Amino acid sequence: MKSTETILRATVNKTVMRKSERIFIKLGLTTDAAINLFLTRVSASQGIPFPVRLEDNNDILASAEHRSRMLESFYES
């Protein structure tokens, strides 16, 4: 019997991970469940389920710090 699950390996910011895990606990979620929730939303919406934009000058991608803040705010809402 084949498993319907796969192992995902990702490199993430330690601080963001710790803060996120504390929020997941408060929500009654495991990190695995939260990741599955995110991926399910991506699949359902056929895209990232929150805005992803270039910075105001439209010529560089958002900094790593800005992306971290965006992710934190995504999990806080």
Q: What is the model's pLDDT at position 33?
A: 95
* pLDDT values of the chain reduced to their tens digit, one per residue, 77 residues: 678 889 999 999 999 999 999 999 999 999 999 999 999 999 999 999 888 776 655 445 556 666 667 667 766 65
Would 64 be classed as within a structural domain?
Answer: yes
The conformation of residue 56, written as its DSSP 8-state character, comes to T
The residue range of the domain holding 19 is 14-48+56-76
Would 43 be classed as within a structural domain?
Answer: yes
Q: What is the model's pLDDT at position 45?
A: 92
Q: Could you tell me the pTM of the whole model?
A: 0.63
Q: Report the C-alpha gap between 42 and 48 in whole angstroms.
A: 5
Structure-token pair, residue 35: 């990741």
Would 7 be classed as within a structural domain?
Answer: no
Chain mean pLDDT for the chain: 82
